[in-house]
Chains A and B, each alone.
Chain A
């Protein structure tokens, strides 16, 4: 089963 990641796992806010 594949799970979709979100961008906040890779890049930080600010």
Chain B
């Protein structure tokens, strides 16, 4: 049996909203350590890797490792029925072909239960080595979302140039061109508002902005986003999920033909 309970069910709903535009279905790997998921988009340009550690749940029980094929589209629809302060329990009974989502209102007066059929999915797993990136930019996730949205107006691609002083996002297309430069924050009252840059080497990489905008669907999970970059290496775009884990998106760069 698998059973995991989250007092703040809305966190789980935000995780699903963060994933479901990039991947519509995925296999959840459940073990004693927690829940992990790795999935690529259909064109194999971007990948998402999710970790939710067991100690982040109020209660967590996983008697044996399970691979659960789940439609994220359907799960998202079910989770929309959850109240904003509801507690969420996810359960898979032994020998069952369904996942059960139970939602309980804070005053414990309302209790809803939905079942979603599990799917048989082919999953391809990519090994992603630990990487010492040349540059890690940390910035407010709302600011990153706004920049990606704005860059998409100008063109299909965005070039991210990072130096020790700042980071520049630039795009050009048929309508024209533009760029936004953010300087490293010198002093900020709140850490979540800061832009900080750890840099060993300056980098300039070009990415399809459409994917970056999909990654930004996960921005409501976290005040800050980390962008890790090295030349000729996929971008790693990370949002923390509270203290319990993270969503990491990987995106292959574009190269000059």
| Complex A-B, nearest 3 residue pairs according to Cβ-Cβ distance, in ascending order | A5-B252, A11-B126, A2-B254
Known: A6-B45, A7-B44, A8-B44. A13 touches B255 (CB 8 A): no
B124 neighbours in A (Cβ, 8 Å) = 13
Additional pairs, 9, CB under 8 Å, beyond known A6-B45, A11-B127, A14-B125: A2-B206, A2-B254, A2-B255, A2-B256, A3-B255, A5-B254, A7-B126, A8-B44, A14-B127
Q: How far is the CB of B179 from chain A (nearest CB, A)?
A: 17
Q: How far is the CB of B79 from chain A (nearest CB, A)?
A: 28
Please tell me if B109 contacts chain A, counting CB pairs below 8 Å: no
- Taking each of A6, A7, A8, A13, which has the highest tally of chain B beta carbons within 10 Å of its own beta carbon? A7
Chain A interface size band reads 10 to 19
Q: Is B125 a contact of A13 with CB atoms below 8 Å? A: yes
Main SS class of interface, A: mixed
Q: Is A7 a contact of B234 with CB atoms below 8 Å? A: yes
Distance, CA A6 to CA B256, complexed state (A): 14
15 contacts between A and B (CB under 8 A): A2-B254, A2-B256, A2-B257, A3-B254, A3-B255, A4-B208, A6-B44, A7-B40, A7-B126, A7-B252, A8-B44, A10-B234, A10-B252, A12-B127, A14-B127
Partner of B255, one of A5, A7, A8, A11: A5
Q: Is A10 a contact of B233 with CB atoms below 8 Å? A: yes
Partner of A1, one of B44, B127, B252, B256: B256
- Nearest to B43 among chain A residues (CB) is A6
Distance, CA A8 to CA B40, complexed state (A): 11
B233 neighbours in A (Cβ, 8 Å) = 10
B81 neighbours in A (Cβ, 8 Å) = none
A12 neighbours in B (Cβ, 8 Å) = 126-127
B257 neighbours in A (Cβ, 8 Å) = 1-3
Q: Contact flags (1/0) for B225-257 with A, using CB distance below 8 Å?
A: 000000001100000000000000010111111
B125 neighbours in A (Cβ, 8 Å) = 13-14
Q: How far is the CB of B225 from chain A (nearest CB, A)?
A: 20
- Taking each of A8, A11, A12, A14, which has the highest tally of chain B beta carbons within 10 Å of its own beta carbon? A11
Please tell me if B145 contacts chain A, counting CB pairs below 8 Å: no
Distance, CA A10 to CA B254, complexed state (A): 13
